[in-house]
Chain A
Amino acid sequence: MSVLNWIEQRTGLVGQITDFLTEDVPGGASYWYIFGSATLFAMILQIVTGIFLTFYYAPSTASAWESTNYIYHNVPFGQFVISLHFWGATAMIALLFMHMLQTLLWGAYKAPREIMWVIGILLLVVTLVLGLTGYLLPWDMNAYFASQVAINIASSVPIVGSATQQLLSGGAGMGTLTINRFFGLHVWLMPAVLVLLVAGHLTIFRHNGSAGPPVDQDLKRLPQGRFWPNQMFMDALASIVIFAIIVILSIVSPPALDEKADPTKFFIAYPAWYFLALYGLLRLAGDPHVPAALTPIANLFATVVLPGGLITLLILLPFIDRNPSRQLSRRPWILGITALTLVIAVGLSLFSMLKIQDEQAAGSGGGGAPAAAAAATTGTSPSGGTAVAVASSGKGLQVFSQSCAGCHGATGMGQPGVFPPLAGNSYVTGPPTAVVHTVLYGLTGKIVVKGGTYNGTMPAWKGNLSNADIAAAISYIRSSWGNKASAVTEADVAKVTK
């Protein structure tokens, strides 16, 4: 008796696997269908590399960065394994989007595959949560500030926002408990949910059978291809090509570990690429051209209505789409809306990228002659140039550029979720004593400015800037970018200094 027979008699496993593999592919095997298995491959890669990372990573403010640094520098192949995990994450989400797109275009979400699709959207959400929670774990500057923005987005949801923010952070602000929560989500809960959903997805896939090509004929009438080995060979080939790309990227471009998170320092965070579009929406909502009265509504749209609406629409798609046809030529609405969504998403992502690059350049050029320095780094006329033209030149601008623009931006725009804007900020143009007090003694804790929530740290400038410098800077911000309020004198500042 052969080994396979022996195992089959005792477990039934061989029969089950054979059953799973010997399936029809209506219309024949095709490279168009590889995206699902490619996403699965990337997921397995993430789980496997992730397991080995947990042999060294320790979640706490005292050890998260230190243990990540240890993996980078002291663990044999450590940097390579982290690299694989980093690029694997990008690959998994990119492939997941491709898989969604292919399924959508092929109309494979239509009856009887609606539940397959719904599980798929849930898988998308879980994968994005995995990407979000994993991003924080190294606890470097970028991890901290990017996650700060994400948590603040959650906190801007009406009614439940504050509770949500505290639930996510494990407290009032981001600290060691936040790392533990994100770790628990990233390593235990989300992977468990992911594996269960994938198991469900694959089981139902076998029940429904392959959807085949986007035609309206009876699938059984088409010539049938073999899943094993024909389709599986294509899947394997695609997987090894993707694996090769991940390996090459891991060797050539490993992710950088910034210095350890320090909430008091200035840093323009870079969200993961798959969140750039959402970040772009947030930027648009916080744009100074939006009237202050509309900002809360704009923020709500950007953070809750549009993303939540999109996910809801996606989940309901098989039930909303009443068109029985799978042929692309008979589905102009779906094609049009998909194309539009893609264009908007890519456009928003590019917009985000450019904005962040601008700010990073302006932030680092905020010393000495600000306009010249910023122009030198970006090579284009930076937003700081506008400030120079509009506001009065002199001491106020100089102090502001050197000490304040780093966080509040050269045009007083701030950074959504992290540093509040000064332009159109009623606190700035209000009673001068309050502004002087904040600049002198700093400010921590949650504040709401123009509908946006901020939970950063404003350092105290008393002792670091002279009263004259502080007065000049405050006068500058109270009369720039559309702000119209009285100037502040050195004597006014001295009065607040105790």
Chain B
Amino acid sequence: MAVHEAQAYKDPGTPEDQSRRQFLANATLVVGGVIGLVLTVPLAGSLIPESLIKPDTAGGTWATLPADGMKQLAEKTDAPVKITFSFKYADGYFPPEDDTQFVWGVKLTPEQAENFKAKRPDIYANPAGKIGYDAVVMNFVIFSSICPHLGCRYDWNGAANRFICPCHGSQFGAEGDKLAGPAPRGLDPLPFREKDGAAQVTWIQYKSGQPDRVIVAYS
């Protein structure tokens, strides 16, 4: 493209003209900048996913635990309590789907609650095993019912006073620590909170068969 000579630019004009033009040039850039800034905020903001805004569920949804299940848990101190609950999980904009799961609730003694971190190096010492929420809330810990070995549902054995998985014999203590067997890590605690008088938990499925905790799904 040949650079041509435009008439209007030949005469630089008076210093007044020049400073006025400088002002117009600056003002034009400022106007452009203002428009850009005003747009950047909502546009960049729209990219923030819900999981960053509400990190306490690690991206899942809160489900309410049935009152009688929680009552049982609050009263029982000698053994974990199995609590079944239903919830709706939603993936983005799709209509919510129904799901039913059960969890193992454990009421810890104040001593157990204090020593929980020490008892569970698989959560707190392994950087890849960590969870983004508190495992112990109000002295309760709620465990996912999925065995971290290969995904079976394990059970509480009262006589042996431990969780035992029927599939390959992994054994876990009341605090979820691995006692024996092929499981690569201890039991997975789930997000737990009290809201408006009801107990709520977030169902998270972690990938089984490895020491690291990687979220696979919320159903």
Among A231-239, A435-443, A449-457, A476-484, the one that faces the other chain is: A231-239
Which residues of chain B come closer than 8 Å to A76, judged between CB atoms?
A: 45-46, 48, 53
Within 8 A of A (CB), among B1-46: 1, 3-4, 6-9, 21, 24-25, 27-28, 31-32, 34-35, 38-39, 41-43, 45-46
Partner of A66, one of B27, B28, B93: B93
Mark interface residues in A62-84 (1 if CB within 8 Å of B CB, else 0).
11001101100011111011001
Assembled-state Cα–Cα distance A69/B6 (Å): 53
A197 at the interface (CB under 8 A from B): no
Q: Is B50's beta carbon under 8 Å from chain A?
A: yes
Interface residues of A, dominant DSSP: helix
Q: A63-B93, A66-B93, A247-B38 are in contact. Are A228 and B25 (CB under 8 A)?
A: yes
Chain B nearest Cβ from A222, distance in angstroms: 10
- B3 with A226: CB separation less than 8 A: no
Given contacts A63-B93, A66-B95, A230-B24, contact A81 B42 (CB under 8 A): yes
Q: Does A369 count as interface, using CB distance less than 8 angstroms?
A: no
Query: Closest residue of chain A to B43, judged by CB?
Result: A52
Evaluate contact between B8 and A225: CB separation under 8 angstroms: yes
CA distance A81 to B39 in the complex (A): 9
CA distance A204 to B34 in the complex (A): 30
CB distance from B178 to the nearest CB of A (A): 39
Asked if B7 contacts A229 (CB within 8 A), the reply is: no
Q: B35 to chain A: which residues have CB within 8 Å?
A: 239-240, 243
Give the shortest distance, in Å, between B37 (CB) and chain A (any CB). 12
Tell me which residues from 48 to 95 in chain B have a Cβ below 8 Å from any Cβ of chain A. Answer: 48, 50, 53, 92-95
Question: Does A188 have its Cβ within 8 Å of any Cβ on chain B?
Answer: no
- Which of chain B's residues 135-182 have a Cβ closer than 8 Å to chain A? none
| Interface residue A166 (Cβ < 8 Å from any Cβ of B) | no
Interchain CB contact under 8 A, B46 and A81: yes
State the CA gap A75–B43 with chains docked (Å).
Answer: 11
Return the contact of A52 from the options B6, B32, B46, B50 (Cβ within 8 A).
B46
Counting from the closest, the 8 A-B pairs by CB-CB distance are A70-B93, A77-B42, A224-B8, A229-B25, A229-B24, A236-B31, A233-B24, A67-B93
A25 contacts chain B at the CB level, 8 A cutoff: yes
CB–CB B45/A77 < 8 A: yes
B47 within 8 A of A: yes
- Which residues of the partner chain B approach A220 to less than 8 Å between Cβ atoms? 7
Least CB distance from A364 to B in Å reads 29
**B3 (CB) vs chain A CBs: closest residue:** A19
- The answer for the CA separation of A16 and B1 in the assembled complex, in Å, is 7
Q: List 12 A-B contacts (CB under 8 A).
A: A15-B3, A19-B3, A63-B94, A66-B95, A76-B48, A81-B46, A224-B6, A224-B8, A227-B8, A236-B27, A240-B31, A243-B38
Query: B53 contacts which chain A residues (CB < 8 A)?
Result: 76
Contacts of B93 on A, CB cut-off 8 Å? 56, 58, 63, 66-67, 69-70, 74
- C-alpha spacing A74/B41, complex, angstroms: 17
| A22 CB within 8 Å of chain B | yes
Interface 0/1 of A192-209, CB less than 8 Å to B = 000000000000000000
- Nearest B residue to A73 via CB reads B93
- Residues of A close to B41: CB separation below 8 A: 77
